[in-house]
Amino acid sequence: MSRIGKKPVTIPSGVTADIANGVLSVKGPKGSLSLTLRDEISYTLEADTITVKPANATKAARAFWGMQRTLVDNLVTGVTQGYTKVLEITGVGYRANSQGKNLKLQLGYSHDVDFVIPEGIEIKTPDNTTVEISGIDKQKVGQVAAEIRRWRKPEPYKGKGIKYRGEFVFRKEGKKK
């Protein structure tokens, strides 16, 4: 039994959900999102809750149960609050600047890195060492953050690079004489 899957997803006021043709559509104050529904799972839409249960007793249905409930919850949270990831840049001369639909990164390469901001994502740079990525789709926000971080992962000796806020970088001791 999935402990997560048993919990119903509550729909707050101001959010509407609709199930049609195997697609769950959720609309809220920040926008609308949709999810293609799995055949192994049955979805029940009531007045203010969505209940997710396995449609049959197969192993695949039990495996998808908790994940599908979490995906439905992510839709509801995305259209009400949205998601934000914060990246911190550490290093001498490393900086970021958002200019319209591009994020310009200076990461110690011989050239600047121009990252094109995808549709549905908003990137702010409150200062030149902080990048705030926000949007309503949790997967897309995380993917954009991972792509930006991939340009210069934090290294273990000086800690230079791009890291998530709150991420612990294991530091190594340098050379000894």
Q: pLDDT tens-digit profile of 115-134?
A: 999 999 999 999 999 999 99
Question: Hey, what are 17's tokens?
Answer: 């959900």
Distance CA 107, CA 44 (A): 49
Cα torsion angle, 105, 107, 111, 115, sign: negative
- What does the pLDDT look like over 92-119, one tens digit per residue? 999 999 998 999 999 999 999 999 999 9
Contact 117, 123 (CB under 8 A): yes
Position 175 scores a pLDDT of 86
Contact 107, 94 (CB under 8 A): yes
- What does the pLDDT look like over 39-80, one tens digit per residue? 999 999 988 999 999 999 899 999 999 999 999 999 999 999
Predicted confidence (pLDDT) at residue 1 exceeds the cutoff of 70: no
User: Can you list the domains of the chain with their CATH numbers?
Assistant: 3-80 (3.90.930.12), 83-164 (3.90.930.12)
